Structure 1
Amino acid sequence: MPLSTKLNQPSKIAIIGNGVIGNLLAFRCHQLSYNYVVVTRDNQKIELDVSDIDNRQYRFHLPVGSLNSVAESDIIIIPIKAYQVADFIEQAHSYIKPWQTIVLLHNGMGTIERVRQQLPHNNLLAATTTYGAFKPQVDQLAIKGCGETQLGWIQCNVADHKVEIQNMLSALLPPSHWHTDILFPLWIKLAINAAINPLSALYKVKNGELAQAKYQIQIAAICDEITLIMQHLGFELESDRLINAVKQVIQQTRDNYSSMNRDLQAKRKTEINFINGYIVEQAARFNLPCPVNLALCREIRQREVST
């Protein structure tokens, strides 16, 4: 049933996957008393133990559902790995209705173009967050840092319910900031990920270790290459802004391991193709040099194969 026909009934949110950000969103939905469901592959019951930033402990049952739950939702949030997004949309395509709002929330870039092709009639949002959390066990969530969330519409056909949707999403991971052009903050976040993720993974260190002087030349070179691409895309900025953004996140997440660090450690596929790989692809569009990001791609891919 379309959101527009539901009058005062609360909108239902479907959260795809049982990952870190998915669990963080579920916890916030639980706190806010939102009507929500967590869509998993096996549809097994999950009792989640949560430790928040103040070390307060919570335990609650996640409302778990299958792909059928997607069809019953108004807002579908997809906080899974970037390389999983297209496959999920393909699997769930018959359950997704044209009036539903899709929210992409993951590291890296490159999925927006594919999803717009797969779901040309849906409302589409992109978001990125600097919240920090990890999962010690499959049924545990440890929240280590409260960050900020950036959101923006890619395509919107629900002017009547735009404010309602924005208000619901804004409350999930506050403070939330809405942008008329979400691509700029997505590129800023991409630069942060492009520096922290591969370096922390290759050198097997926590994020905070990257503040050491020996890493600064690489960080600056990564940001220089991204700055040149962004300037060709029409964004006005200097490399120093990206470098400072990277340094700020390194400090804020100094006790954390990056997702790419954890993926390599656990012998899982990384999102390198959607982070530094996407940067290399965009550089090729403009015939720009991109040797540092290209080298990082090759090194991470080689580690993936060797593990």
Structure 2
Amino acid sequence: MRIVIFGAGSLGSLLGALLDSAHDVVLVGRDPHVSTTRERGLRVTGVDSFEASPASTTDGTGLDADLAVVTVKSYDTAAAARDLATGDVGAVVSLQNGLGNEETLAAGLECPIVAGTTTHGAMLSEPGVVEWTGRGAVAVGNWRVDGASDHTPQVDATDDPASRVAAAFRAASIDAESDPDIRHRLWAKLAVNAAINPITALARIRNGRVFEGPTAAYAERAAAEVARVARADGVGLDADAVAAEARAVARRTADNRSSMLQDLAAGRRTEIDAISGVVAERADEHGFEAPVNGLLAALVRGWEAGAGVR
């Protein structure tokens, strides 16, 4: 299968390296990572060590592929859709953080859209080198197929893109499954991200510290607010269950610095709009408040404005 990894950062590079064992892979990313990968190949360290040789480019337009795996930051999703629309792509799967990426992709593309989550952990050590920090799994589910009139998750009886995507991942020995209730997984992941990412970023702490000391209560409230908004959106998320999952993730990744903490430390824009921001906005649409998520979003946005990255 011809697979494009659109967003060859840490996660995209790891998935590209893994998929390269069974497929014809092209990484779309930025220099110097792309040029180094093109010249020397892509080296993976950490959980397993190996080298891969995917093609790589900084130009995401005019691509011809059976599948595009989108791993860009949420604020770059619209640009990714515009670039992909200039080529011929059979299906697109989002493995991004936050909520709303699938709607953005569906609005700009005519091909099947597949939603997904992954628990793999990765970090770019240097150009051409990605550290595999945690082995995980991939879950995908149909979001929109050809001819759909809206952007809600659905399965076409004559075509099951999510099953084909999961099979492509499994062909490369990646644990992957197709889940018809992918919206539940997306909201559950959002609850975990809302509890961990902005708090670690603002407090400048590693994941394991979130549920210790004064930040613990606010992390639990952030997760509980996501669960309430999810239920208002028709997804049965339990507040205690997602808080417990957030605590478990924080323990498993105790020594990790969250992606949002890394963004703040590097002076980069964050994905706060698609995490805490979207929770507060959806709550307002449903006629109630999500005060913890609203405050966290305001604080991170305030830092972004002050740093000149918004």
2:50 aligned with 1:50, yes or no?
no
State whether residues 228 and 237 of structure 2, in contact with CA within 8 Å, keep that contact through their aligned partners in structure 1: no
2:202 aligned with 1:202, yes or no?
yes
Q: Report the counterpart of residue 271 of structure 2 in structure 1.
A: 271
* Aligned-partner Cα distance in 2 for 1:291–1:149: 32
What are the within-5 Å matches in structure 2 for residues 169-180 of structure 1? 169-171=169-171, 174-180=174-180
Q: Say which SS state the counterpart of residue 13 (structure 1) adopts.
A: strand
Q: Say which SS state the counterpart of residue 142 (structure 1) adopts.
A: strand
**What's the CA shift for 1:291?**
1.1
**What's the CA shift for 1:67?**
4.4
Q: Choose the corresponding residue for 1:106, options 93, 96, 101.
A: 96
**What's the CA shift for 1:68?**
7.0
* Aligned-partner Cα distance in 2 for 1:230–1:305: 29
State whether residues 14 and 69 of structure 1, in contact with CA within 8 Å, keep that contact through their aligned partners in structure 2: no
2:256 aligned with 1:256, yes or no?
yes
* Aligned-partner Cα distance in 1 for 2:204–2:304: 14
* Aligned-partner Cα distance in 2 for 1:79–1:63: 17
Aligned residue type for 2:112: N
State whether residues 103 and 127 of structure 1, in contact with CA within 8 Å, keep that contact through their aligned partners in structure 2: yes
Q: Report the counterpart of residue 283 of structure 2 in structure 1.
A: 283
Per-residue CA deviations over 1:157-186 (Å, capped at 9, x if unaligned) read 484574444311345584323211311100
**What's the CA shift for 1:45?**
4.9
Q: Report the counterpart of residue 116 of structure 1 in structure 2.
A: 106
The root-mean-square deviation of aligned C-alpha atoms, in Å, is 2.1
Q: Say which SS state the counterpart of residue 211 (structure 1) adopts.
A: coil
Query: Aligned in 2, Cα 1:61/1:175: closer, same or farther, shift over 3 Å?
Result: closer
Aligned residue type for 1:168: A
User: Which one is further off, 160-169 or 204-213?
Assistant: 160-169
Per-residue CA deviations over 1:88-118 (Å, capped at 9, x if unaligned) read 2123322145xx1011111101122222121
State whether residues 103 and 125 of structure 1, in contact with CA within 8 Å, keep that contact through their aligned partners in structure 2: yes
Q: Report the counterpart of residue 7 of structure 1 in structure 2.
A: none
Q: Report the counterpart of residue 241 of structure 1 in structure 2.
A: 241
Aligned residue type for 2:77: V
Structure 2 unaligned residues grouped into runs of 5+: 147-155
State whether residues 7 and 71 of structure 2, in contact with CA within 8 Å, keep that contact through their aligned partners in structure 1: yes
What are the within-5 Å matches in structure 2 for residues 224-235 of structure 1? 224-235=224-235
* Aligned-partner Cα distance in 2 for 1:236–1:102: 26
Query: Aligned in 2, Cα 1:146/1:277: closer, same or farther, shift over 3 Å?
Result: same
Q: Report the counterpart of residue 305 of structure 1 in structure 2.
A: 305
State whether residues 39 and 70 of structure 1, in contact with CA within 8 Å, keep that contact through their aligned partners in structure 2: no
Aligned residue pair count: 291
Q: Report the counterpart of residue 182 of structure 1 in structure 2.
A: 182
**What's the CA shift for 1:66?**
5.6
User: Which one is further off, 279-288 or 40-49?
Assistant: 40-49
* Aligned-partner Cα distance in 1 for 2:165–2:185: 20
Q: Say which SS state the counterpart of residue 94 (structure 1) adopts.
A: coil
Query: Aligned in 2, Cα 1:183/1:78: closer, same or farther, shift over 3 Å?
Result: same
Q: Report the counterpart of residue 153 of structure 2 in structure 1.
A: none
Query: Aligned in 2, Cα 1:90/1:189: closer, same or farther, shift over 3 Å?
Result: same
**What's the CA shift for 1:247?**
0.5
* Aligned-partner Cα distance in 2 for 1:145–1:117: 33
Query: Aligned in 2, Cα 1:63/1:239: closer, same or farther, shift over 3 Å?
Result: same
Q: Report the counterpart of residue 68 of structure 2 in structure 1.
A: 76
Q: Choose the corresponding residue for 2:4, options 14, 26, 30.
A: 14
Query: Aligned in 2, Cα 1:49/1:221: closer, same or farther, shift over 3 Å?
Result: same
* Aligned-partner Cα distance in 1 for 2:93–2:6: 10
Q: Report the counterpart of residue 143 of structure 1 in structure 2.
A: 132
State whether residues 42 and 128 of structure 2, in contact with CA within 8 Å, keep that contact through their aligned partners in structure 1: yes
Q: Report the counterpart of residue 40 of structure 1 in structure 2.
A: 29
2:119 aligned with 1:127, yes or no?
no
Q: Say which SS state the counterpart of residue 136 (structure 1) adopts.
A: strand
| Seq. identity, % | 27
Aligned residue type for 1:135: L
